[in-house]
Amino acid sequence: DKGRLPRGNCNASLINTSYGAYHEGSCIMECKDRYLNDTCGCVNVVPPLNSVLQYRSCTLQEWAECGYERYMNFTKLFEDPDYTSNICPCQSACEETNYEAKLSSSTLSLSYAQFLHNVVTIQQQLRSFSHPDLNIEYSTVKDIHDNLVVFDVSFSDMV
């Protein structure tokens, strides 16, 4: 709900993060990015787009060899209040808007998979995601059809 002050202290100077408007969750995501970057040299497969820190995305191999384990470790560490207060001191936002998220997903139709396979720029991008050592390839229509999914996330105003 917009405009309601949180319980406890808030800091009105905290306005923006690399994830947009400041809120406790965006501060935690920045801490996670810092932790992953410091321990693996990269962050999630898709880093924040407007980060001034210019984090590099993990490749699938880097994620498999380092990122996933460190991400799970961060999640476990974050349950410890001493860790969070010392390493990731995120304060409550003075003003915050909350939205209910709704998620739907579906598999790709065979005709859409064929379309994606025929678009050269998409083929190149999918090939960059392929990693034969991890048995991940997107070289055929069947690979695309069997391994890609469409997610649609929408937010509804909680007025």
Average pLDDT over residues 136-150: 81
- Do residues 145 and 115 lie in contact, with contact meaning Cβ atoms separated by under 8 Å? no
Q: What is the pLDDT of residues 14-40, one digit of tens each?
A: 777 777 778 777 888 888 888 899 999
> How many other CB atoms are found less than 10 A from the CB of residue 35?
19
Q: Please indicate whether residue 62 or residue 123 has the higher confidence score (pLDDT).
A: 62
Q: Please indicate whether residue 5 or residue 82 has the higher confidence score (pLDDT).
A: 82
* Residue in 121, 129, 120, 132 with CA at minimum distance from that of residue 148: 129
Average pLDDT over residues 93-114: 78
- Do residues 151 and 105 lie in contact, with contact meaning Cβ atoms separated by under 8 Å? yes
* Residue in 29, 28, 22, 23 with CA at minimum distance from that of residue 46: 29
Q: What is the per-residue pLDDT for 38?
A: 92
Whether residue 95 is predicted with pLDDT greater than 80 in this model: the reply is no
**SS3 assignment, position 5:** coil
Mean per-residue pLDDT over the chain, rounded: 76
How far the first Cα of the chain sits from its last, in Å, is: 8
Q: What is the per-residue pLDDT for 7?
A: 47
Least confident of 5-14, 38-47, 98-107, 116-125: 5-14
Distances (CA, A) of 43 to 53, 85, 156: 11, 22, 29
Percent of the chain with pLDDT over 70: 78
Least confident of 9-18, 26-35, 102-111: 9-18
Q: What is the per-residue pLDDT for 159?
A: 47
Whether residue 48 is predicted with pLDDT greater than 70 in this model: the reply is no
Average pLDDT over residues 121-143: 78
> How many other CB atoms are found less than 10 A from the CB of residue 148?
15
Q: What is the per-residue pLDDT for 156?
A: 56
Whole-angstrom Cα distance, residue 117 to residue 23? 40
Beta-strand runs (E) in 9-159: 16-17, 20-21, 99-107, 149-157
- Do residues 6 and 93 lie in contact, with contact meaning Cβ atoms separated by under 8 Å? yes
